Amino acid sequence: MKRSRKSIIAMLSILFIGSSLMSACSSQNTTPPKSGAQLWGENCIRCHNAPPPSAFSDDQWEIVAMHMKVRANLNSHETSEIVDFLQMAN
């Protein structure tokens, strides 16, 4: 029971800290939209090394991107920007 209480307290603490950070940081929305290259660099490495654009063909990138969109919870705009960058750069 003690372990469970500690876990719940830890969970709530992390959520509270995260929420506070988000609210503190989201007071102003002045950042321009991110480029496909930036989104590629920032999101892929959350789990694995970022693949080089030459890793797949244009058609293959369409499939890979859709797979990663679901797995990494990306939205359609972000996915489209990343695919455009990879297809242009490969």
Residues that bind other proteins (CB under 8 A): 1, 3-4, 7-8, 10-11, 14-15, 17-19, 21-22, 25-29, 31, 42-43, 45-52, 55, 59-60, 62-64, 66-67, 69-77
- Of 42 and 88, CB closest to other proteins: 42
Nearest-approach distance from CB 10 to other proteins, in angstroms = 6
- Cα dihedral 76, 33, 64, 54 in deg (nearest 10): 150
Q: Give yes or no for a contact between 42 and 3, defined as CB atoms under 8 angstroms apart.
A: no
Nearest-approach distance from CB 85 to other proteins, in angstroms = 16
* Helix or strand holding residue 7 (H, E): helix 2-25
Neighbour count for residue 4 (Cβ, 10 Å)? 8
Nearest-approach distance from CB 52 to other proteins, in angstroms = 7
